[in-house]
A and B are shown apart, each in its own frame.
Chain A
Amino acid sequence: MSNILIVDDEPNILLSLEFLFKKEGYRVFIARDGDEALGIIEDRMPALLILDIMMPKVDGYEVCRHVKSLYPEMKVIFLTAKSKQQDIQKGLNLGADLYLTKPFSTKDLVLKVKSLLN
């Protein structure tokens, strides 16, 4: 089963997502900020990233840019409270495969992740 990396600074969101994807049978890694995420990406080569944008130090956009330039195959889903059109556009322009806004439907997210990884 694929590796999934979840990046967010909100502990309860991490907790819920981790629980969900573990249940679906994925290997789940967790990062609380962009720096941490970049390290894990190098180590674990996850197939898919679930990225928050607003994080201390390195933000989600930068992580996405980095990932897409090095590993274009790696899937990126933005999962963020930023719902303005220009933010969504920016995310997609960086090569993100999906842009979902919080609060999200867990079912929907799981389905999307599955379709991306198959």
Chain B
Amino acid sequence: MALLFAIAWFSERSSEKGESYASNPYVYALSLAVYCTAWTYYGSVGYAATNGLEFLTIYIGPSLIAPLWWLVMRKMIRVSKVQRISSIADFISSRYGKSVSLGGIVTVFCLLGILPYISIQIKAIASSFEILTTGDFQMSGNLLPFYSDAAFYLSLGLALFTILFGTRDVEATARHDGLVTAIAFESIFKLVAFLVVGVFVTFIVYDGFQDIFTQASIRGFDHLFVFGDEIASTDWFWMGILSMMAILFLPRQFQVSVVENHDENHLDKAMWLFPLYLLIINVFVLPIALGGLVHFEGEAVDADTFVLALPITYNQDWLALGVYLGGFSAATGMIIVSTIALSNMVSNNLVLPVILSNDKLKKKFQLRLGETVIWIRRVTIILIIILAYAYYKEVAGKFSIVSIGLISFVAIAQLTPAIIGGLFWKKGSKIGATVGIIAGFGVWFFTLVTPTIVTAGYLPETFLSEGLMGIAALKPSSLFGMEGMSPISHGLFFSLTINTFAYVFLSLLLTQSSKEHNQAVVFVDIFKYSTTLDSSIIWKGQAYLPDLKALLVNFLGQVKTDEALQEFEAMTGSSLEVKGAVNSELVNYSERLLSGVIGTASARIMVASVVKEEEISMEEVLGILRETQELKFLNLELKQKSKELTKASTKLQKLNETLRLNDMLKDEFISTVTHEMKTPLTSIRAFSEILLDEDLPEEDRKKFLDIIIQETSRMTRLIDQVLDLERFDSGRQKLNLESTDIKILLLQACESMFQVFKEKKIAFTMDLPFDALELAVDEDRVKQVVLNLLSNASKFANSLTEIRAVVTDNYLQVEVYDDGKGVPAEEVPYIFDKFFQAKNQTSKKPIGSGLGLAISKKIIEYHGGIIGVERKDGLTCFSFSLPLFQEKNVEPETQKMYE
């Protein structure tokens, strides 16, 4: 037991580390050997001792059907993976339109069918323990009260183990790697232990097979190893069929072969490994049985105990202990896996639907569903084991292991029509499956269970001998006078026939609902759909609010979900808490809400899959949702990227625009420059031609030559200015900074303009209230600016101009005033652009080249100053500032100069 814990714990740990032992075809095949329970270990020998070779049917069936696994099992695995199916009940309910009632029915019947089976495992453990400790070779229920019964504590230990390694995840489809590894280990252990006993009995107690068979024949046991008559062969047939169904549909087999499956391709190996295992474990069954019969002839030794009794008789204590442990392994493996499978069914198909369909309960649990599910399972496991223990105390003790086991098999066989039909026949319908299963179980109960109840003493004997209510046709062991079959074959035949008939007949008779049909298509054509759900599923039915809420919370977050639902309540004026089901309006509303997050198509699938009866698939849904969310996220990223691209291309466009504009400006600049050049050129050419042609008086000739020279220098000036500006623009212009007396600079500039003002009869005032201010400037350039401003003033002034200089803490400010009409407000921003005048007045000749202000602006900016224009006291005021890099004593002194 402790070893089991250790193995399971270790394997669980390593699978968390991502190196799963369970994800291995050999482990998978070995875990399938959970099929071989105490029945195989003790029961087969007992069965062989009474019925001979017939014990083999239970192994021939699975071996025969193994090649067909590729058809059936693989399909079951695929469907279960896609649909996140966690148990056989789940499988059936999911196939038939996700029917809650069907899932519940299957769960109840599985419980009824498997409980006795678990109880015989407990019986085997308890009895073998007793034999080991007392040496009394009887497999019967002991009469101890449970609190002093070792079997009771063993059962509790098993329950604990199962809870530990079987109920860690809410998700019923989660694999229990630790558990599977432990089961696989047990399979090896029980095989080895059994083979050791076989070898011991065959080759040590006797002299090989030949010896045993010879001795058995002498004692008249030869009927046990030759094939029987006609009756036996029908039994063989039915037993074969029965075991075929068992290997596929027993809850524990479903658990290990489908739920715990890591990889469909592991089936490849399992298909031949598992039958091989069955063959090996059965090699010594008959020899042991015969050896036991020969050895214990005439003694009161239960044949079921031969495996253990023989080693004890020969005082092989260690071997006996090994055998006991092998049997223990076989039994516990079955108990553990079965209880896990059953507890999943009970929690998901019985308890949860009840909770979710009951308002009060739902309110109580809806916030702790995951936790609740786990606790339901834990409690169920304990209950199942305690019930099995009780059944063992009350009933099973009185029967052989195999007989009870076979009864269980027949119960599980009732699921066959619904499952096989469900996998391969689209028309198979919910009603058909339900009625078929119920009828089949009814017949099973009547034909096979009631006799055990009679034997246990709860029903009168007459029930068996005279039939139900004395009707002879209703004798449990021979319905309608059908005699001559073994009870098991008889029960199986009737229950399965009625079951199948009901299923097929009703399915053909009735039409399916759209939901049913959807699921039927998904199951039958699973390899077409494989991993995607059919997106055309449109749901019109009922949904559970918690599911929808969980769905919404997963996406919108709690706060937003609550808001949205309140809004919905306000909008429709209906309360959300009406019954378990919510109306389709809310479903559609949720779908719309989700559409915003994950897109319309996904939202439809999501809602369609959440809107159903089983809580389990919530996980599936949320899984898909997360994927979709990732997609959504990717989409967002893409959107972001394309936004950035758009931005970039907008930038590029802007840049392009700027370039084009610059290009245009450049063109304009060039055309303006050439235009400006043409004016002096025209004069030069005209006068040159006149001088060439005409015989001119000396006076005229001199005058014209003068004009030519003037125009030439005008052109030179223009060219210089253009080059100047170009240098400033490209940043190649260097300033020749020298410490300069600003006052002298200003005075010199003014002086050169006096003549002009005088000629134009314009008054000119100077106001320079400072002394000897030295700044590091490019003297010629600053003078150029001052001259430019003064000459502009002279051109535009009506009658007066003025130059003022102000020294502040940081700046020298020079202002030039004139009383002209000023610069129109809309032109102020452009007045310092090159050729602004030329551009602005397309057909009006500018005064001057139109480059003066542009160059001035550059010069001042190069000095770190600012140039601007404003209207002040009714005068136009052009001003520029220069930073005071170096300041020397500033003595304010007003000086006014008049012309």
Contacts and interface: CB of A to CB of B under 8 A. Distances in A.
Contact of A53 (B684, B689, B843): B843
Interface in A1-42: 9-10, 12-13, 15-17, 19-20, 23
Interface string A59-86: 1110000000000000000000110100
A16 B675 contact: no
B689 A107 contact: yes
Given A13-B686, A16-B687, A59 B843 contact: yes
B690 interface: yes
B690 A102 contact: no
Nearest to A60: B843
Interface residues of A, number: 27
Contacts of B687: 12, 16
Nearest to B838: A54
Contact of A54 (B671, B682, B693, B845): B845
Contact of A61 (B683, B689, B711, B843): B843
A15 B682 CA distance: 12
B689 A13 contact: no
A54 B689 CA distance: 24
Contacts of B689: 105-107
A56 B845 CA distance: 6
A17 B686 contact: yes
A49 B181 CA distance: 114
A55 interface: yes
A102 B845 contact: no
A7 to B, nearest CB: 12
A107 B692 CA distance: 11
B689 to A, nearest CB: 4
Contact of A16 (B678, B690, B844): B690
Contacts of B540: none
Nearest to A52: B845
A55 B845 CA distance: 5
Interface string B687-712: 10110011000001000100100110
B826 to A, nearest CB: 19
A103 B678 contact: yes
A9 B848 CA distance: 13
A36 B36 CA distance: 125
Nearest to B677: A81
B683 A13 contact: yes
Contact of B845 (A9, A17, A84, A104): A9
Nearest to A56: B844
Q: Which of A53, A54, A103, A105 has the most CB of B within 10 A?
A: A103
A10 B679 contact: yes
Interface in B798-831: none
B685 interface: yes
A84 B710 CA distance: 28
Contacts of A15: 707
B682 A104 contact: yes
Interface in B504-560: none
A19 B690 CA distance: 9
A56 B704 CA distance: 26
B694 A102 contact: no
A102 B679 contact: yes
A13 B843 contact: no
Contacts of B685: 103-106
A107 to B, nearest CB: 7
A106 B690 contact: yes
Contact of B686 (A56, A60, A106): A106
Given A81-B675, A103-B678, A16 B843 contact: no
A103 B690 contact: no
Interface string B827-842: 0000000000000001
B743 to A, nearest CB: 37
Nearest to A62: B843
Contact of B681 (A57, A102, A107): A102
A54 B690 CA distance: 25
Given A16-B683, A103-B685, A81 B844 contact: no
Nearest to A102: B682
Nearest to A23: B694
Contacts of A57: 844
A82 B842 CA distance: 10
A73 B675 CA distance: 31
Q: Which of B686, B687, B690 has the most CB of A within 10 A?
A: B686
Contact of A81 (B679, B693, B710): B679
A16 B688 CA distance: 10
Contacts of A54: 842-845
A106 B844 CA distance: 25
A19 B671 CA distance: 30
B448 to A, nearest CB: 109
Contact of A103 (B686, B842, B845): B686
B690 A81 contact: no
27 contacts: A10-B683, A12-B683, A12-B687, A13-B683, A15-B707, A16-B683, A16-B686, A16-B687, A16-B690, A23-B694, A56-B844, A57-B844, A59-B844, A60-B843, A81-B675, A81-B678, A81-B682, A84-B671, A102-B681, A102-B682, A103-B684, A103-B685, A104-B685, A104-B686, A105-B685, A105-B689, A106-B690
**A-B pairs, 8 with minimum CB distance:** A16-B686, A59-B843, A12-B683, A102-B682, A81-B678, A103-B682, A103-B685, A106-B689
Given A16-B686, A59-B844, A61-B843, 14 more contacts: A10-B679, A10-B682, A13-B682, A16-B690, A54-B844, A55-B843, A55-B845, A81-B679, A102-B678, A102-B682, A103-B682, A103-B684, A106-B690, A106-B693
Interface of B: 671, 675, 678-679, 681-687, 689-690, 693-694, 700, 704, 707, 710-711, 842-845
